[in-house]
Amino acid sequence: MLESMTGYGRGEHATEHYRATAEIRSVNSRYCEISLKLPSQLHIFEQPLKEKVLKSVKRGKISLTVDLEHHTCEEEPVNIQEEALKIRIKTLEKVREAAGITDPIRLEHLLVFEDLFELAENDPELLQEQYGAVEKAVMTSVDELLNMRRSEGRNLQKDLEERLKLLADHCNEVRDGEKARILEAKKRMSERLAMLLDDSRVDEERIEQEIAILADRLDISEELVRMDSHISYFTDCLRDDEQQGKKLNFILQEMHREVNTIGSKANSTAISRSVLGMKEIIENIREQIQNIA
């Protein structure tokens, strides 16, 4: 089953003291890149969280943001950096005087400096509680993200299968007119040679050889057989459980090569129209699979 690379997920989890909220977004990317924004006291857990996400999400540019709030009435155990606080106050006083501001320094002016307030270092259990809340919120958001990516993947698969059917129809149109096209080319060549050469000089055997060479140059049956094979294999890959984005892109390149060869060999207005239609479908498919994980 296909999986899109674009999606969104949100997760929450509450413990005795904390409520964590995680939001995750993913967009197209050749590889898997994760940008993670955590509360400052949890930066030591950044790598373990990234590794957990990577076990579930294989491709896409991932943006993950985590918020944490203390939701009980209990006093949150924090250390106030008193010396740093005094320095901040003196600095703000100088700025106030230099700017000619008469308003006094208020509490909200100091709360913006996060480095003045730190989680009590002697309470590792509380830190683990925070991480536990964050981890569960993150994994809930990842589950939602994957559900959305898979849902979009199902829509992509339906669209791609319809386009593949149109591509197969074009191949059948070309195949149906192939025999008549070769016979017509042989007829035109025979008539042209008969007009150019006197009957006494015509080498029937040589003419037959030239016609055979022409027919071989115009023959596109092998290309059509390979196109059938590529379309069948592409369809099978769409229905495979493994992630197939890179493989599908390779098969599509092979399809494009075969269609180009058919176009270069075909000396037919009808086939040229079919080739243009096939190229348009292949380009549409190429745009679609750029979003497949």
The answer to whether residue 268 scores a pLDDT higher than 80 is: no
Lowest mean pLDDT among 88-97, 154-163, 186-195, 263-272: 186-195
CA dihedral 47, 49, 51, 52 (to 10 degrees): 170
Average pLDDT over all residues of the chain = 84
- Reported as a single tens digit per residue, the pLDDT across 194-249 is 666 655 555 666 656 666 666 566 678 889 999 999 999 999 888 886 767 778 88
pLDDT at residue 270, as a whole number:
80
- Reported as a single tens digit per residue, the pLDDT across 61-112 is 999 999 998 876 555 556 777 888 888 888 888 888 888 888 888 888 877 7
- 86-125 in b/e form (b: 16+ CB < 10 A) is eebeeebeeeeeeeeeeeeeeeeeeeeeeebbebeeeeee
The answer to whether residue 121 scores a pLDDT higher than 60 is: no
pLDDT at residue 17, as a whole number:
84
Better-scored residue on pLDDT, 125 or 242:
125
pLDDT at residue 122, as a whole number:
45
Better-scored residue on pLDDT, 293 or 208:
293
Lowest mean pLDDT among 21-30, 194-203, 249-258: 194-203
Residue 251 and residue 292: Cα distance in Å, rounded? Answer: 14
CA dihedral 141, 143, 145, 149 (to 10 degrees): 180
Tell me what the mean pLDDT of segment 129-140 comes to: 95
Better-scored residue on pLDDT, 141 or 186:
141
Q: Of all residues in the chain, what percent carry a pLDDT higher than 90?
A: 42
Q: Please say whether the dihedral angle defined by the alpha carbons of residues 27, 148, 167 and 246, taken in this order, is positive or negative.
A: positive
In the chain, count H helices and then E strands: 9, 6
**H-type alpha helices, 103-123:** 107-111
The answer to whether residue 23 scores a pLDDT higher than 70 is: yes
pLDDT at residue 222, as a whole number:
87
Residue 210 and residue 268: Cα distance in Å, rounded? Answer: 20
Residue 24 and residue 64: Cα distance in Å, rounded? Answer: 4
* Domain annotation for the chain: domains and CATH numbers: 7-75+122-150 (3.30.230), 78-117 (no CATH), 152-289 (no CATH)
Go through the chain and tell me how many residues it has: 293
Q: Please say whether the dihedral angle defined by the alpha carbons of residues 227, 233, 239 and 245, taken in this order, is positive or negative.
A: negative
Q: What 3-state DSSP class applies to 39?
A: coil
Q: Which amino acid is at 290?
A: Q
Q: What 3-state DSSP class applies to 197?
A: coil
The structure tokens listed for 271 are 């086939």
Residues 6+ apart with CB under 8 A from 38: 45, 46, 49, 66, 134
Tell me what the mean pLDDT of segment 2-11 comes to: 93
Q: Which one-letter DSSP state was computed for residue 80?
A: E
